[in-house]
Amino acid sequence: MMMAAEGNTTTMNAPKKLLFVLRQAPYGSTLAKDALDAILATSAYEQDLSIAFIDDGVFQLINNQQSELIDQKNIARILSALPLYDITQLFVCAASLAERGITLGAISEDITVLEPEALRTLLSQQDHLLSF
Amino acid sequence: MKKGKQHNTKQLAGKNIDVDKEGYLRHLDDWSEGVAECIAQEEGIILTQDHWAVINLLREFYHTFDVSPAMRPLVKYVGIHLGKEKANSIYLLTLFPPSPARIASKIAGLPRPANCL
Amino acid sequence: MSAILHIVNQSPFSSTLLKQCMDRFNNDDGLILLEDGVYGAMSQHPYAQNVRNIKRCYAIKNDLLARGISLDDISDSIQVIDYDEFVQLTIEFPLSHSWY
């Protein structure tokens, strides 16, 4: 898996702005689950953590996943635990949703929908980008 | 996250049960209250009502979210369901020393919390 | 706003990866084409014009040559770089993002 490189230099203890960019569908590879493991682990370090679901990553948000039928952990259910880990900055790409015909009713409600320009700005305002 | 490859079997509550090398159950279905009492005993813990409240809550967390909680989410979840006065790590530490999220998960028959420091 | 160095490793002829990257591209960002991503340096794919318009676009020399892509065939706007220059760019840009 490839990760981001150097970020902006700030003092050691200041929280870094970390954006996890999730671009893959939930069960076609282990990347979605790997990303969640990394996100939950990172939450222990009290950084300024946010998540952007773009491209096929928006499929992770679909309600009513029944992943037990294919013996996989349920990505949507794990995502619903994020508030308990104090992870509340969730973003989804409006264009990716539209492209796939996904309505907001079909996904979790506690998420900010970003138009292309706002998404580009979000990406450029981080200290680190972590792509999964 | 380490997943032990070796298959250890352990006599718990009169049954042979698969556990990993750290003593966590390999199959959630093997769990029973008797099994919980045996694991607790090995950890030097005698289960009281207060313990059971947390154990049952942990199992509910796992069934809701498909993941064993680390300390912080566990404390929050306890606060929501068992009351604010119990939502602190000291309380959980006195029940499940020395590492509440890990020890309580083990007794509850759940996987080790992957992100537990 | 920090400039992002985008890194793309799949062919635009078989994957939408390059398009997905272009959709999130800011003006000051840079693009590196590597592995099969270097096919994005060719002029016939649907996003070739977008690639030509990028001020800082790079392709890995060894990946081009390994695939028999002549350096004469790619757009003048694309700089051909070696691995050391690649590393240098990841240091120079405040942010990197790998598309794969």
Nearest-angstrom CA–CA distance, B54 and B35: 16
pLDDT at residue number B115: 63
pLDDT at residue number B5: 54
pLDDT at residue number A18: 98
Cβ neighbours of residue B85 under 8 Å, at least 6 residues apart?
B91
Nearest-angstrom CA–CA distance, C80 and C61: 5
Q: HEC profile for chain A?
A: CCCCCCCCCCCCCCCCEEEEEECCCCCCCCHHHHHHHHHHHHHHHCCEEEEEECHHHHHHHECCCCHHHHCCCCHHHHHCCHHHHCCCEEEEEHHHHHHCCCCHHHECCCCEEECHHHHHHHHHCCCEEEEC
**CB spacing of C96 vs A55 below 8 angstroms:** no
| Token pair of C63 as six digits | 């990946």
Mutate to test the interface with A, among B3, B63, B66 (most CBs of A within 10 A): B66
Q: What is the pLDDT along chain A (132 residues), one digit of tens a residue?
A: 444 444 445 456 789 999 999 999 999 999 999 999 999 999 989 999 999 999 999 999 999 999 999 999 999 999 999 999 999 999 999 999 999 999 988 888 789 999 999 999 999 999 999 999
The structural domains of chain A, ordered by start, are: 17-131 (3.40.1260.10)
Interhelix angle B100-107/B33-42, nearest 10 degrees? 140
pLDDT value at C39 more than 50: yes
**CB spacing of A43 vs B72 below 8 angstroms:** yes
How does pLDDT run across B85-114, given as a tens digit for each residue?
Answer: 999 999 999 999 999 999 999 999 999 997
**Between 3.20.20.140, 3.40.50.300, 3.40.1260.10, 2.40.30.10, what CATH number should domain C4-99 receive?**
3.40.1260.10
Neighbour-count burial for A39-75, b at 16+ CB within 10 Å, e otherwise: bbbbbeeeeebbbbbbbbbbbbbbeebebeeeebbbb
Contact C45, C72 (CB under 8 A): no
Closest by alpha carbon to C96, among C63, C58, C64, C66?
C58
Contact B74, B100 (CB under 8 A): yes
A72 reaches B (C-beta below 8 A): no
**CB spacing of C20 vs A23 below 8 angstroms:** yes
User: Where do the structural domains in chain B lie, given as residue ranges?
Assistant: 8-107
pLDDT value at B14 more than 90: no
Residue in chain A nearest B64 by alpha carbon: A77
**Which amino acid, one-letter code, is at A40?**
L
How does pLDDT run across B31-40, given as a tens digit for each residue?
Answer: 999 999 999 9
Hunting for tokens 């009492």 — which residue is that? Answer: B37
Hunting for tokens 């506690």 — which residue is that? Answer: A110
How does pLDDT run across A75-108, given as a tens digit for each residue?
Answer: 999 999 999 999 999 999 999 999 999 998 888 8
Question: Going by beta carbons, is chain A in contact with chain B, meaning 3 or more pairs sit under 8 Å apart?
Answer: yes
pLDDT value at C49 more than 90: yes
Hunting for tokens 């032990």 — which residue is that? Answer: B4
Residue in B70, B82, B87, B116 annotated catalytic: B116
C95 reaches A (C-beta below 8 A): yes
| Token pair of C60 as six digits | 């890995």
pLDDT at residue number A2: 44
How does pLDDT run across B51-89, given as a tens digit for each residue?
Answer: 999 999 999 999 999 999 999 999 999 999 999 999 999
pLDDT at residue number C75: 87
pLDDT at residue number B117: 52
pLDDT value at B2 more than 70: no
**Between 3.90.180.10, 1.10.275.10, 1.10.10.370, 1.10.10.10, what CATH number should domain B8-107 receive?**
1.10.10.370
Closest Cα in chain C, distance from residue A106 (Å): 23
Does the active-site annotation cover B38?
no
pLDDT at residue number A117: 97
